[in-house]
Amino acid sequence: MQKFKEVFMHIVFLTAAFVSIAAVALICVFLFANGIPAMKEIGFGRFLSGEVWRPSNELYGIWPFILGSIYVTAGALIIGVPIGLLTAIFLAKFCPKGIYKIMKPIISLMAGIPSVVYGFFGMCVLVPLVRRLFGVNGNTMLTASILLGIMILPTIISVSETAIRAVPDKYYQGALALGATHERSVFLTVVPAAKSGIMAGIILGVGRAIGETMAVIMVAGNQPKVPDGLLKGVRTMTANIVMEMGYAADLHREALIATGVVLFVFILIINLLFSILKRRTVL
């Protein structure tokens, strides 16, 4: 009886471990099975590089949204990476203990704030701000980039900080002993040594930014056309799915799922890069 229980529970545990494998497999199967046929029907080339998205005329080109996602993510990186990296350096090498104790929980809280709240904040503060500063409709690529830049800060900060802290103190001390200033030692010896860990953090940030949905929808304007300027509206792949899934049917619906497939492939590539970098460093 005891023996049976042992074996039974062993099997239960093993099954539980298989659930995550099954989940990934199911997600792949269902997304690809529903998305690929639509891509075939529309034509891979015309779907991926078509510049016009007009479901009423059976025109399904998601090139504007791919570009939109890439632009907004790049914008978020331009804002988030320098600030995030420097803040991580501050936390690891400049911060007095007392301040660290306050700052660290605040940054982990930043990661926990729901994206709708960020989006709402962007809608009520950033959008009017951009409207007043530049005299345009405030729902722009710039607004979305700033908001996403703030949203990826905690990811970049915490991964980079861990990477910087993992660098042996010898590096820093050696540079100091050679007469370099504190800043020089940190920036020219410690940070370069933490390079691949920092890269991993940035890639994780890219994944967050490209997959972000609600916050982007609320501030980006969402016009379904090729984005043509920092102060123009933009629609990302994620936004496209949420905006139209509510009323889409047939091929339109499948085209939206296919948009999800393209997004999924992007994310898989980013994940792969992340795990390769993570293997190369001690996180």
The yes or no reply on residue 23 touching other proteins (CB under 8 A) is yes
CB-wise, 24 or 78, nearer to other proteins? 24
Which residue among 129, 136, 242, 283 contacts other proteins (CB under 8 A)?
Answer: 242
The yes or no reply on residue 27 touching other proteins (CB under 8 A) is yes
- Report how far residue 59's alpha carbon sits from residue 83's, in angstroms, rounded to the nearest whole number: 41
- Report how far residue 60's alpha carbon sits from residue 275's, in angstroms, rounded to the nearest whole number: 34
Stretch of 59-67, 78-86, 131-139, 162-170 lying at the interface with other proteins (CB under 8 A): 78-86
Stretch of 42-50, 70-78, 161-169, 181-189 lying at the interface with other proteins (CB under 8 A): 181-189
The yes or no reply on residue 117 touching other proteins (CB under 8 A) is yes
The yes or no reply on residue 282 touching other proteins (CB under 8 A) is no
CB-wise, 57 or 98, nearer to other proteins? 98
The yes or no reply on residue 38 touching other proteins (CB under 8 A) is no
Stretch of 38-46, 128-136, 194-202, 212-220 lying at the interface with other proteins (CB under 8 A): 212-220
The yes or no reply on residue 193 touching other proteins (CB under 8 A) is no
**At closest approach, how far in Å is the CB of 33 from other proteins?**
8
CA dihedral for 165, 167, 168, 171, sign (positive or negative)? negative
Which residue among 38, 127, 220, 241 contacts other proteins (CB under 8 A)?
Answer: 241
The yes or no reply on residue 159 touching other proteins (CB under 8 A) is no
In sequence order, the β-bridge partners of residue 53 are: 60
User: Can you read off the two tokens belonging to residue 260?
Assistant: 């999800």
The tokens 């989940």 sit on which residue?
Answer: 23
The yes or no reply on residue 233 touching other proteins (CB under 8 A) is no
Stretch of 70-78, 127-135, 163-171, 206-214 lying at the interface with other proteins (CB under 8 A): 206-214
CB-wise, 57 or 246, nearer to other proteins? 246
The yes or no reply on residue 183 touching other proteins (CB under 8 A) is yes
DSSP 191-255: HHHTHHHHHHHHHHHHHHHHH--HHHHHHSB--SS----TTS-B--HHHHHHHHHTT--HHHHHH
Which residue among 74, 83, 193, 230 contacts other proteins (CB under 8 A)?
Answer: 83
Torsion of CA 28, 31, 37, 41, to 10 degrees: -130
CB 95, CB 103: distance < 8 Å: yes
- Report how far residue 216's alpha carbon sits from residue 233's, in angstroms, rounded to the nearest whole number: 11
User: Can you read off the two tokens belonging to residue 47?
Assistant: 């779907």
**At closest approach, how far in Å is the CB of 244 from other proteins?**
11
The yes or no reply on residue 87 touching other proteins (CB under 8 A) is yes
Q: 44-51, long-range: CB within 8 Å, 24+ apart, which pairs?
A: 47/255, 47/258, 48/262, 51/225, 51/226
CB-wise, 109 or 282, nearer to other proteins? 109
Which residue among 110, 129, 193, 226 contacts other proteins (CB under 8 A)?
Answer: 110
Packing angle between helix 195-211 and helix 63-89, nearest 10 degrees?
140
- Report how far residue 191's alpha carbon sits from residue 89's, in angstroms, rounded to the nearest whole number: 8
